[in-house]
Structure 1
């Protein structure tokens, strides 16, 4: 017949000698105690910690002990769920044998894994921030790459904005009492038109240059235009 009380006393003495600084007895009937488990320090000195509370049941180790996380530091909810799952698994695998050391060791390894995950997550966040900073810097110096699609989109938007500005300006001028512009005046206000076209309209479509020097001495000529024999070509030849 198994002497459960004897096995429990022997294990308790061994556990106290293995964890002298982190082992604390809470009660003797039922036997209840805590063991504080701390991970190895991470790269920047960060650690995670869990204080496990165990309580022997009457038929331990043929039945698993009761456990809970009495307190913790830097553990997230999903981390504690993982620890509970791990304790359950280890207890089932070690039924019939004293198992407190095995359970504590499993939790110790799990805490070390959590610290490694924290380290990897921090490094990944750092790499992501550096990548985002590099991409932002490239955009700042390179600007937006012009494609046919985004150019046409910009052009369409620009033309709409310009048309709206012209409409508002005309409306403001009308409200201010300025006379309504004629078609020609509206035409002249459009800077997209060639200035030569505007000049053509101002001249009534007859823009002709005249060399006035050709006529500067005309008053000095003795012309008899009523003479039927008058020939201006002959007069030009006589002067020569």
Structure 2
């Protein structure tokens, strides 16, 4: 079949398959926009109203399908609203959109090139579109999974910090010996302190010494009488 006729037939078929998504710019140039399914979370929640689409520009080469078409990719995206109810919310939670970036577009361009080469000699636009859609959605799903892993890791880290508050130090030989050494030192210091305090308590104060007459400055009347009687006994009459 003549290449020009093959291109015309494929173009007609693509228009029937993508009635709203395809825009024909010329007999050899057209664009197809394909919506990407939002990724799902491990809890089953999905993004809604993501409005992210992959826009594919196709230009037939002169000898297509014997040679590969020229493919250019771009992204159309918008803000996102989620169904997931998190942190006590009941849905309608706005999150940062998980999107394809320039690096991802590079990966998709390589995928399109490989798919075109694998289908040389045959009309390949539909195969390229299907492959690109699957690859793009796979990338988005992996990004969603990575975000969930990071979120779960953060939760585990916070839980570990909370649990650490209620855990004591594990006992081993080294820290037990150190504890016993310190304990004995503290007990010895306490005993020495108590001994000094007791000795201090036994010592009479200056006032007590004065009141008891232990300093020799005071004598009772009984002491004076006893001294007088002793003196009389010592006197001899000749």
Fold-level match, TM-score > 0.5?
yes
Q: Does 1:145 align with 2:165?
A: no
Which SS does the other structure have where 2:47 is aligned? coil
Larger RCO: Structure 1 or Structure 2 (Cα < 8 Å, ≥ 6 residues apart)? Answer: 2
Alignment of structure 1 residues 71-86 onto 2, 5 Å: 71-73=75-77, 74-86=99-111
Counterpart in the other structure of 2:23: 24
Aligned pairs for 1:100-179 within 5 A: 100-140=125-165, 142=166, 145=169
**Aligned mate of 2:65, from 61, 66, 75:** 61
Residue 221 of structure 1 deviates from its aligned partner by 2.1
* Per-residue Cα deviation, 1:32-54 (whole angstroms, up to 9, x for no partner): 11111222233232464210101
Distance 1:70 1:134, change over 3 A: closer
Deviations 1:175-224 (A, max 9, x none): xxxxxxxxxxxxxxxx9x83754897x9xxx9579994999654442364
- Structure 2 counterpart of 1:40: 37
Size of the aligned set, in residue pairs, is 185
Partner of 1:26: helix, strand, or coil? strand
Structure 1 stretch displaced more, 131-140 or 11-20: 131-140
Q: Deviations over 1:113-144 (max 9, x none)?
A: 1232133123212211221221122134x166
Please state how far the C-alpha of 1:71 moved relative to its aligned partner.
Answer: 3.4
In 2, Cα distance between equivalents of 1:221 and 1:143? 78
Q: What is the RMSD of the two structures over their aligned residues, measured on CA atoms?
A: 4.0
Distance of aligned partners of 1:220 and 1:227 in 2 relative to their CA distance in 1, 3 Å threshold: closer
Q: The residue matched to 1:221 in structure 2 has which SS? A: helix
* TM-score relative to the length of structure 1: 0.62
- Give the conservation status (yes or no) of the 8 Å contact 2:100–2:140: no
Structure 1 or 2: larger helix share? 1
In 2, Cα distance between equivalents of 1:68 and 1:227? 143
- Could you tell me the TM-score, scaled by structure 2's length? 0.62
Gaps of 5+ in 2: 40-45, 78-98, 179-189
Q: Is the 8 A contact 1:33 1:53 kept in 2?
A: yes
